Structure 1
Amino acid sequence: MTTAKDIMHTGATWIPAHETLDRAAQLMREHHVGALPISASGEEDRMIGILTDRDIVVGCVAEGRDPSKVTAGDLAQGTPRWIEADADVEAVLREMQNHRIRRLPVVEDKKLIGMISEADLARHLSDDQIADWAEQVYARTSTG
């Protein structure tokens, strides 16, 4: 059985909620990632959200806000999602499809150990699995 741990990439890095978005962008560049889990200030192992490069652009820069003054915590929204390291790939796909998310933190013993992204899915799954996943995650709901 292929697990979340088998397909994730390691080295996921936290951004504390009190850190500014310019620092988040620097960390993304340094680690070659497009998303960082946001930790509650002073509690590195408690996730309060995920910050993406798109969040920084759309939620800060495009609104004319200063990324050196807006914090990661300011943009944390919704309920964070994650998956246990020993979960099978079908559970990973369900979690991502059900919540229409493109990145999923992987935890083991309540500690962040990696992240699953679209690129990880593409490297490890069949074309049919990828097509089904993409249809669910990117499907638009009709507003008749």
Structure 2
Amino acid sequence: MTTAKDIMHTGATWIPAHETLDRAAQLMRDHKVGALPISAKGERDRMIGILTDRDIVVGCVAMGHDPSKMTAGDLAQGTPRWIDSEANVEMVLEEMQTHRIRRLPVVENKMLIGMISEADLAQHLTEEQIAGWAEKVYARG
């Protein structure tokens, strides 16, 4: 059985809620990622959201805000989704499809150990699985 841990990429980097969006963009650039889990005030084991590069552009820059003054916490919305490292691929796909998300943190013993992105899915799934996933995640409505 292929698990979330088998298909994730390791080394997910946290961003503290108080950190500015310009710093978040620098971390994304340096780590070559498009999303960072947001941690509660210094608590690396409590995720309060996920910040994406698109969030910075749409929620800050396009709104005329200064990314050096807005924080990651300012854009943390909703309940963050995650999956246990031992969950099978079908559970991963269902979680991502149900919530229409393209990145999913992977947790083991309540600690973040990695992230599953579209690129990870493309490397590990069949074309049929990816097509079904994309149809549900990107469907309008």
Query: Which category describes the TM-score, using the shorter chain as reference length?
Result: over 0.9
Equivalent residue, structure 1, for 2:30:
30
* Structure 2 Cα separation of the partners of residues 81 and 63 of structure 1: 26
Three-state SS of the structure 2 residue aligned to 1:114 is strand
In the TM superposition, what are the counterparts of 1:76-95 in structure 2 within 5 Å?
76-95=76-95
Deviation of 1:44 after TM superposition, in Å, equals 1.1
User: TM-score, normalising length from structure 2?
Assistant: 0.99
Deviation of 1:37 after TM superposition, in Å, equals 0.2
Three-state SS of the structure 2 residue aligned to 1:37 is strand
* Structure 1 Cα separation of the partners of residues 45 and 15 of structure 2: 11
Q: Does 1:129 align with 2:139?
A: no
Three-state SS of the structure 1 residue aligned to 2:47 is strand
Equivalent residue, structure 2, for 1:18:
18
* Structure 2 Cα separation of the partners of residues 103 and 7 of structure 1: 12
Three-state SS of the structure 1 residue aligned to 2:46 is strand
User: TM-score, normalising length from structure 1?
Assistant: 0.97
Equivalent residue, structure 1, for 2:105:
105
2:126 counterpart letter in structure 1: S
Cα offsets for 1:75-113 (capped at 9, x unmatched): 000110000000000000000000000000000000000
Cα offsets for 1:18-63 (capped at 9, x unmatched): 0000000000001000000000012111000000000000000011
Gaps of 5+ in 1: none
Three-state SS of the structure 1 residue aligned to 2:25 is helix
How many residues are matched? 141
RMSD: 0.4
Identity of matched residues, % = 84
Gaps of 5+ in 2: none
